Amino acid sequence: MYGIINLFKEKGITSFKQINMLKKIFPDVKIGHTGTLDPIADGVLIVCIGKATRLADYIQAQKKIYKAEMILGLSTDSYDITGKVLNCVASDNVANHEIEIAINSFIGKQSQRPPIFSAKKVNGMKLYEYAIKEKPVEIRESYIEIIHINSIQIDNTSYNGIPMKRLSFEVECSKGTYIRSLCHDIGEQLQKGGTMSALTRMQVGNFKVADSYTINEIIKSKSEGIIENIFIPIENAINLPFIRLNSQDKRKYINGVKFEIRIVAGDYIIEDMDDKIIGIGSVDENCLLKGKVMLNEDY
């Protein structure tokens, strides 16, 4: 058994615990996910079952859309509302148009510093492990892209009686983008500080939150014997063109033999003459096709 599931990760629980719940549903199958969500966040968490774990890198590389909320004027060590409060100042005096200008200034390609409380690894250790142990670590910036920021809303709120502004917006971004860092950086640019107060991952590639399944829905599907209905076809999961191979070329592909094919260089979903997907291959500049991922259950 292998496939891809669009799991709705619930708020207040770690991605790791949600995956462990799935492992109880699929006890004898390898399971992997394509990017964690913080406990404070909910939304799309793409899970790969069995041989589909070989596709994780392709899915993880796809663009993501988030709906974020932040408090302007509040600063924490984790860059979100669950962290230790470092500073809080009034922000109700910041004009809305200044806020919108600051938010939109982050659209484009840029370097971003990950939060210290994150799962990003440095020298084999996760950053949050350095933070917990209070060990010094050099945090290198990552190269990311904010593609769009839409649906900006600005409301009045307060924290411990201090008047502040709550900002919400929708972000389309590249792999590796930390929305907590974006909220922090927006606050710093406005010289007030900022922290993320809520986050929903709305979409990963073609996977939308409206089409996701909760753990309970997955359990119900399995008990009813219709678990295959929630598996997403590979062609819907990965945005790649197709190459169809005849039986002779299929055999070469399965045996790991490079062979010439007149087509533009790049990655392709490989299928046979029966429309069965057998893997993902890459065509180089010399028009040679090489298999990268094998998915055919028979080989």
What size, in residues, is the chain?
299
Q: Which residues contact 247 (CB under 8 A, 6 or more apart)?
A: 272, 273
Q: How many CA atoms lie within 13 A of 229 on its CB side?
A: 12
- Please tell me the predicted confidence (pLDDT) of residue 18: 92
Q: Are 194 and 81 in contact (CB under 8 A)?
A: no
Q: In the predicted model, what is the mean pLDDT of residues 27-52?
A: 90
**Catalytic positions, please?**
38
Please provide the CATH number assigned to the domain covering 3-62+206-236: 3.30.2350.10
Backbone φ, ψ for residue 43 (5° rounding): 120, -160
Nearest to 227 by CA among 4, 65, 58: 4
Examine the pLDDT at 97 and tell me if it is beyond 50: yes
End-to-end CA distance of the chain: 14
Examine the pLDDT at 296 and tell me if it is beyond 80: no
- Please tell me the predicted confidence (pLDDT) of residue 136: 86
Q: What's the distance, CA 110 to chain centroid?
A: 18
- Please tell me the predicted confidence (pLDDT) of residue 299: 41
pLDDT tens track for 105-138: 999 999 999 998 888 888 888 888 888 888 888 8
Examine the pLDDT at 297 and tell me if it is beyond 70: no
Q: In the predicted model, what is the mean pLDDT of residues 57-75?
A: 95
Strand ranges (DSSP E) for the chain? 3-9, 31-33, 42-49, 64-72, 74-76, 85-88, 108-112, 121-122, 125-126, 142-159, 162-173, 194-204, 207-208, 242-245, 259-260, 266-272, 277-283, 288-294
Most confident of 51-55, 121-125, 171-175: 171-175
Ramachandran category for residue 52: left, alpha or beta (phi over 0 → left; psi -120 to 50 → alpha) = alpha
Examine the pLDDT at 298 and tell me if it is beyond 70: no
- Please tell me the predicted confidence (pLDDT) of residue 235: 79
- Joined together, the tokens standing for residue 145 give 């892209």
Give the CATH fold of the 64-204 domain.
Pseudouridine synthase (3.30.2350)
Examine the pLDDT at 1 and tell me if it is beyond 80: no
Say how far apart CA 177 and CA 166 lie, in whole Å: 21
Q: In the predicted model, what is the mean pLDDT of residues 33-43?
A: 91
**How large a percentage of the chain has pLDDT more than 90?**
71
pLDDT tens track for 193-240: 999 999 999 999 989 999 999 999 999 998 888 888 899 888 788 889
- Please tell me the predicted confidence (pLDDT) of residue 43: 98
Mean pLDDT estimate for the chain: 92
pLDDT tens track for 137-153: 888 899 999 999 999 99
Q: Where do you find CATH 2.30.130.10 in the chain?
A: 240-294
- Joined together, the tokens standing for residue 152 give 């900006």
Q: Where do you find CATH 3.30.2350.10 in the chain?
A: 3-62+206-236, 64-204
* Architecture of the domain whose range is 240-294: Roll (2.30)
- Please tell me the predicted confidence (pLDDT) of residue 104: 98
Examine the pLDDT at 2 and tell me if it is beyond 90: no
- Please tell me the predicted confidence (pLDDT) of residue 81: 96
- Joined together, the tokens standing for residue 257 give 């033999």
Q: Which residues contact 52 (CB under 8 A, 6 or more apart)?
A: 2, 3, 4, 234, 295
* Between residues 52 and 72, the one the model is more confident about: 72
